[in-house]
Amino acid sequence: MMYSQKVLDHFTNPRNVGELPDANGVGEVGNAKCGDIMRMYLKIEGNVITGVSFKTFGCGAAIATSSMATEMIKGKTVEEALQLSNKAVMEALDGLPPVKVHCSVLAEQAVRAALADYYTRQGIDPEPIVGKIQEVDHGDSCSACG
Ligand code: FES
């Protein structure tokens, strides 16, 4: 399996790892088949994401994509973060092997789950804004993560 330099860089040196004690939006998503779990922490002030971190129990691509996703939404508005797609994360990493595409979906969904939690805490129903948080379909690639 061939990984780009950027994937390897974010895997070996992930950005924004850990918990964010004063987060006001926390989301967790998991993949039932591979068992990988991703938790995303957001600190949102005046509609801007001023703090972001993540914890991932998962494969190398899951770590690299969550690391890149945090870098891409840092300092952005909530609306901009909602636009983050797994495709954009993959492009920023110069691509992923096809069997690893679903890992980037986990990163996208973790951001959305954290935003949904943020809205819920404000007393706002998140579903019309964020949509349903999807259970990631692992396809037949789950052997990839052992
Ligand atoms: Fe399960 Fe990558 S997230 S193999």
Ligand 1 touching residue 29 (CB < 6 A): no
Q: Is the CB of 31 under 6 A from ligand 1?
A: yes
Copy the structure tokens of residue 46.
Answer: 């005046």
Query: CB-based burial of residue 56 (10 Å sphere; 0-12 exposed, 13-18 middle, 19+ buried)?
Result: buried
Prediction pTM value: 0.90
Question: Is residue 143 scored above 80 in pLDDT?
Answer: no
pLDDT at position 2? 87
Give nearest CA residue, ligand 1 atom 3: 103
Torsion sign, CA atoms 47, 73, 110, 42: negative
Residue pair 122/25 in contact (Cβ under 8 Å)? The answer is no
- Look at residue 146 and tell me whether its pLDDT is greater than 90: no
Whether residue 61 has its Cβ less than 6 Å from ligand 1: yes
Alpha-helical runs (H) found in the chain: 5-12, 60-73, 78-82, 86-92, 101-121, 127-130
Cβ 81 under 6 angstroms from ligand 1 = no
Calculated CA dihedral for residues 139, 59, 92, 76, nearest 10 degrees: 100
- The Cα-based distances of 144 to 37, 48, 54, 62, 71 in angstroms read 15, 36, 22, 12, 26
- For residues 78 and 146, which has the higher predicted lDDT (pLDDT)? 78
Q: What would the pLDDT profile of 46-102 be if each residue is shown by its tens digit?
A: 999 999 999 999 999 999 999 999 999 999 999 999 999 999 999 999 999 999 999
The string of pLDDT tens digits covering residues 92-135 is 999 999 999 999 999 999 999 999 999 999 999 999 999 888 65
- Tell me the angle at which helices 101-121 and 60-73 cross, rounded to the nearest 10 degrees: 50
**Mean per-residue pLDDT of the chain:** 91
Per-residue confidence (pLDDT) for residue 33, from 0 to 100: 79
Amino acid at 115: L
Residue among 1, 7, 31 whose CB has most ligand 1 atoms within 8 A, to mutate: 31
Ligand 1, atom 4: nearest CA belongs to which residue? 145
Give the nearest ligand 1 atom to 141 CA.
4
